[in-house]
Structure 1
Amino acid sequence: MSDGKASADGGAASRRVVNHDQVVRAGVDHFVKNSTLDMEALAGEMAISRATLYRVAGSRDALLEDVMVVIANVIFDRARAARTRPGFEGVIEISRYFGEQLRTPILERFLRDDAEAAARILFTPSGAVHDNAVARQVEIFRETGLAAQLPPDADLGRLAYLYVRMVGPFLYSEFFTGRKADFDELLPSLRALLKPAA
């Protein structure tokens, strides 16, 4: 049913009520198919106006953040389910698996073709992707038993923040340098960070 008004992209838009979760799900599907987020194309796929899409999503960067959080959480869950070892070694096992799952043509193309947006979304320490990764890392420290091995006054949030700041850029670096990231190179630094547990 038309609302009788011109949409922001100049055409007659159909009024369709969508919520944030629906937009994010559609954004994930669109990203997986295209390795990018074309807001105009996504609006067309959802049969909504660009104005509606931006109103619900906030901005392209905001929607990209939400999409990346969903994708990251799927990989985190797979990595955690595949873990076989406890403690520090279990934490490393999850990180290795996560890094291996990042090596997909979808993310490679996104990082290559939309490098500026990728840098803003993936590497900003105050962004949703980073905040989510830190929260998930705290959970991993706890479920592997590593948290129980740390001193009682250990700041899990701070350790998770530093861990993510070390591991994230290292894993993504191969997309920019062309050199495959060897996780073993990072182990001494991670052991030093988590020395009381390792």
Structure 2
Amino acid sequence: MSGSPVPPDAPARPAGPAAALAAASEHYLRGEPIEMSALAAELGVGRATLYRWVGSRERLLGAVLAEMTERTYRVAARGVAGDGAERIIRVLDRFMRAVVDAEPLKAFTERETRLFIRLATMPGTIEDRATELLTKEIQAEIDRGRLSVPLPTRTLAQAIVRVADSFMYAHYLGGNRPEIDQALEVVELLLRPCGESSGPPER
């Protein structure tokens, strides 16, 4: 549990920002709250030191969610068939469904819905990480000659991330449920020439 004393024979955790992120991520994955006083005690440092490492609780949570975004994306992209726009749409389909089904995220959003929406939908660490991952994915398809896009790659990736977020988190923004199918329809329009369509992605 959060705040439990560390056993005396437990291996020493390396100090620094990376250790703080790793410890916070462990609590997140267990569905536990991330409290700064308890985290500092767990790491064997004072609150002032922890804040010096991570900047603020909100910044630390943003870093944790960005790390989870990357982990989920890499799992979603593993073994996906197809190429060009078809591959990217399939990856996004798997990624978005994995995100909305993730139990740690459900636990976090039940406790801190407004904070999550602010972190997830505004420019910042999470959007930057998702944009970076998608930029690489799109550029790889361009480099293979399997995709041609009318916008700079990063601009397109950022637009797709923002579209995906607005639909994926629709249930937190006043809607009844995540609208992943609608998000994929819009992404397909951004990735494909007018009139070209592959139909819904296979799951």
TM-score range, shorter chain: 0.7 to 0.9
Match of 1:93 in 2: 90
Deviation of the 1:182 alpha carbon: 4.3
Please list, as runs of the form range in 1=range in 2, the aligned pairs for 1:162-181 lying within 5 A after superposition: 162-175=159-172, 179-181=176-178
Q: Deviations over 1:38-95 (max 9, x none)?
A: 1112112212211111111110011111111111111111111131121111111111
Match of 2:127 in 1: 130
Which of 60, 69, 73 pairs up with 1:72?
69
Q: 1:78 to 1:144 in 2, by over 3 A?
A: farther
Deviation of the 1:154 alpha carbon: 3.2
The number of equivalent residue pairs is: 181
**In the alignment, does 2:25 pair up with 1:28?**
yes
| Percent identity over paired residues | 24
**In the alignment, does 2:107 pair up with 1:116?**
no
SS of alignment partner, residue 96 of structure 2: helix
Deviation of the 1:109 alpha carbon: 2.0
Distance 2:104 2:14 in 1: 30
Which of 176, 188, 192 pairs up with 2:189?
192
Q: Deviations over 1:126-169 (max 9, x none)?
A: x0110111111111112345884215x63111111110000022
Structure 1: 5+ residue stretches without partners: 1-15
Structure 2 counterpart of 1:107, one-letter code: L
Distance 1:17 1:105 in 2: 28
TM-score, with normalisation over the residues of structure 2? 0.79
Identify the structure with the greater strand proportion: 1
Match of 1:142 in 2: 139
Q: Deviations over 1:22-48 (max 9, x none)?
A: 111111012212343211121122122
CA RMSD of aligned residues (A): 2.4
Structure 2 counterpart of 1:123, one-letter code: T
Determine if contact 2:84/2:141 at 8 Å carries over to the other structure.
Answer: yes
SS of alignment partner, residue 78 of structure 2: helix
Which of 15, 19, 26 pairs up with 1:18?
15
